[in-house]
Structure 1
Amino acid sequence: MRCALIVNPVAKRGKSILLAQRAQKRLTQYGWECDLLISQSGDHIRQLTRQAMAKKYDAVAIAGGDGSIHHAVQVLAKTETPLGIIPCGRGNDLVRTLGIPHNPEEAADVIGQGQIKRIDLGRILAANLLEPRYYCGIVTCGFDSDVAEFAHRHRNIPGGWFGYVGAALVLLAQFEFPEILVQGEGVDFKGQILLVATANCPAYGGGLNIAPMAQIDDGLLHVCIVRRTSKIRILFLMPTVFTGKHVLEPEVSIHPLERVRLVGKKPLPLYADGEPVGTTPAEIWVEPKSISVFVPRNELFS
């Protein structure tokens, strides 16, 4: 068995190559031939993934974060080649959803043990995109896109929820609430929002449970709309997102949908898996069982 292990060398503050080498060593103990491939950019990750598939590797693994995985998924979607993950990112929200350990040897064990599951992907066609883009986690619009853009420009900020909250506090004071139209089956919302999150899995930002009922294999996207409220009120709402209790608040609604349309009064930036994916207007839909992923033997999602 052969695995192409593609490494984002700047992930984990430059420690990703060492972590990938530890995973590589563990995989050889399972009898895998594992080749380390160092990427230079998101586009290069796609190129390396295509090359690995052309060379008939049995699996492609990513040593990086949600953004690196996002680029590999553009190539692996709708194929039988399974994706392995060695977590090296700031948020690591997909691996948290899948139950993959953060330790590189234990993450390599997941690949070595060979349990594979088909999971859903979201797909988005937005302004400024030449073709639809797949995503694993969540598409953000509004305030959370501003936070994602801030994180994209400031790669040195801490990862996980701490970095998210820090960026949010910096940006909230100057945030202007955009007006948006959200349309889907049984949903026709028009108004000013704090954010709209279109979720294939429950969390983003390193563990913020924006759509706690979302499952990565249920054939649905969970669209979370947070309507405009006072900024003081937002500060009180923020902590409830960690536990998912924000869904009980009157400003928040969750809509399980197969497809949703977002139209901003003006073009609004969109981010998927923390990566820029154009602006509104956008069509977003679910692609059920679209990719094979190595998962732990004790995975609990349905």
Structure 2
Amino acid sequence: MTGALNHHEIGQVTLLTNPVSGHGNAPRAAERALARLRQRGVDVVQIVGADAEHARRLVGDALDRGTDALVVAGGDGVITECLQALATTDIPLGIIPAGTGNDHAREYQIPREDPEAAADVVAAGWAETVDLGQIRDRRGVTKWFGTVAATGFDSLVSDRANRMRWPHGRMRYNLAMLAELSRLRLLPFRLVLDDRTGSLREIKADLTLAAVGNTRSYGGGMLICPNADHADGQLDITMVHCASRTRLIRLFPTVFTGTHVDLDDVTTARARSVAVDSAGISAYADGEYACQLPVTISAVPGALRILRPHSSVNPLPG
């Protein structure tokens, strides 16, 4: 299933750049996209977020002033900050991919190595209406996300990487993963799934990780939820239960093809919402820290409009 695709007139956009995305490549990508947008007759207002809080404030001001689209030159982390403002509005999101993972761009077939081509997608003005995920913590605080929410081994690795001060970039994450592999253990999880009919199903299991996907991939192309559909009003849940380091290492390459879901160590489910709990475990979404478990994660149908190439989606008039 795909979401409705409608045409938007793009006359003026706000371009937000995260200067540290992609190890500092985002400003160059933004410059190239800016030049192409102006070539296409689009008026561009530039904003640069010094940090997450600053970016949120700038985005809020831009939406208050009015814009035909909010365009992000950066990665999934800055995109998720923008989702907090764009969710349930009529203002579409445009993406100039310039991060390390770029899983939003991957899902919506936005050119990841060509800022001019990505800018052409924005100028063309075709926006698909898609779902977002929403995480609600025990205090009732909510956070929107676009791709995958991770709990368990993945979030433990992210916790460790965030505590490390050296090295920088991908190597820090790799070292954190090796450290967590040395401590690999099954974690007691409780999940309560709510399907389309409103009936509840409880799962109590010792798991390596539980990933909840609105889209298929995280971590730069790992198809953790390979059958997820971003416009079906549901979430895909992938549960890995593997206590052996050797078996987990052998499983890892299959995540890039999505064939891990056929293995005995992996089970999957689908639900419109899922409550997730495991003591002492964090939830990450779009690669960013969200909150501590327990959480309730829900699919919110039609919560976002995203500018994307229209060739692979049947456009609707409008």
Q: Same fold (TM over 0.5)?
A: yes
Matched, 1:25 2:30: no
SS at match of 2:158: helix
Correspondent of 1:156 among 142, 154, 168: 168
Which sits farther off after the overlay, 207-216 or 227-236? Answer: 227-236
* 1:64 partnered with 2:78: no
**So what's the TM-score if we normalise by structure 2?**
0.88
Separation in 1 of the partners of 2:173 and 2:136? 26
Aligned to 2:21: 11
Asked whether 1:126 is paired with 2:126, we answer no
Deviations 1:18-47, CA, capped at 9 Å, x for gaps? 210110010011111112211011122221
Contact 1:229/1:251 (8 A) holds in 2? no
Change (3 A) 1:152 1:104: farther
Query: Is 1:100 aligned to residue 110 of structure 2?
Result: yes
- For residues 313 and 229 of structure 2, the distance between their equivalents in structure 1, rounded to whole angstroms, comes to 11
Query: Within the alignment, does 1:112 sit opposite 2:126 as a pair?
Result: no
Aligned to 1:48: 58
In structure 1, C-alpha distance between the alignment counterparts of 2:280 and 2:151, rounded to whole Å: 10
CA distance in 1, matches of 2:213, 2:314: 16
Report Cα offsets for 1:48-90 as digits up to 9, x if no partner.
1111111111111111110100000000001001110011111
- How far did residue 171 of structure 1 move? 2.2
Deviations 1:234-280 (A, max 9, x none): 1111111111111011121111110101121x231110101111111
Size of the aligned set, in residue pairs, is 297
Give the residue type in structure 2 aligned to 1:274: G
Are residues 1:80 and 2:93 paired? no
CA RMSD, aligned part only? Answer: 2.0
Alignment check: 8 A CA contact 1:152 1:274 kept:
no
Deviation, structure 1 residue 117:
0.9
Aligned-partner residue type, residue 292 of structure 1: R
Kept after mapping to 2: 8 A contact 1:93/1:206: yes
Q: Tell me which of 220, 243, 246 is aligned to 1:229.
A: 243
| 1:290 matches 2:303 | yes
Secondary structure of 1:239's aligned partner = helix
Deviation, structure 1 residue 202: 0.5
1:176 aligns with 2:185: yes
Give 1:91's aligned amino acid.
Answer: G
* Cα distance change of structure 1 residues 109 and 73 upon mapping to structure 2, 3 Å threshold: same
* 1:144 CA displacement: 0.8
Confirm or deny: 8 A CA contact 1:247 1:253 kept in the other structure: yes
Specify which of 150, 154, 173 is matched with residue 144 of structure 1: 154
Distance in 2 separating the partners of 1:205 and 1:99 = 16
2: CA distance, partners of 1:279 / 1:55: 35
CA 1:187–1:224 in 2, change beyond 3 Å: closer, same or farther?
farther
Corresponding residue number in structure 2 for 1:267:
280
Q: Residue 229 of structure 2 corresponds to which residue in structure 1?
A: 215
SS of alignment partner, residue 71 of structure 2? strand
Q: Percent of pairs identical after alignment?
A: 34
Displacement of 1:150 in angstroms is: 4.1
What secondary structure is seen at the aligned counterpart in 1 of 2:208?
strand
CA distance in structure 1 between the partners assigned to 2:264 and 2:250 by the alignment: 13
61 and 151 in structure 1: CA distance in 2 versus 1, 3 angstrom threshold: farther
CA contact (8 A) 2:217 2:225 kept: yes
Unpaired runs of 5+ in structure 2?
Answer: 1-10, 195-199
Deviation at 1:137, TM superposition (A): 0.6
Distance 1:284 1:173 in 2: 30
Which position in structure 1 is the counterpart of 2:100? 90
Q: CA deviation at 1:292?
A: 0.8
Deviation for aligned residue 1:286: 0.4
Counterparts in 2 of 1:130 and 1:49: CA distance versus 1, 3 Å: farther
Equivalent AA in structure 1 for residue 95 of structure 2:
I
AA in 2 matched with 1:117: E
Residue number in structure 2 paired with 1:252 = 266
Taking the aligned partners of 1:152 and 1:109, their CA distance within structure 2 comes to 36
Equivalent position of 1:203 in the other structure: 217
Could you tell me how far 1:166 is from its partner in structure 2?
A: 5.9
Is the alpha carbon distance of 1:94 and 1:111 closer, same or farther for their aligned partners in structure 2, counting shifts above 3 Å? Answer: same
Structure 1 stretch 168-177 or stretch 277-286: which is displaced more? 168-177
Bigger mean CA deviation after superposition, 108-117 or 146-155: 146-155
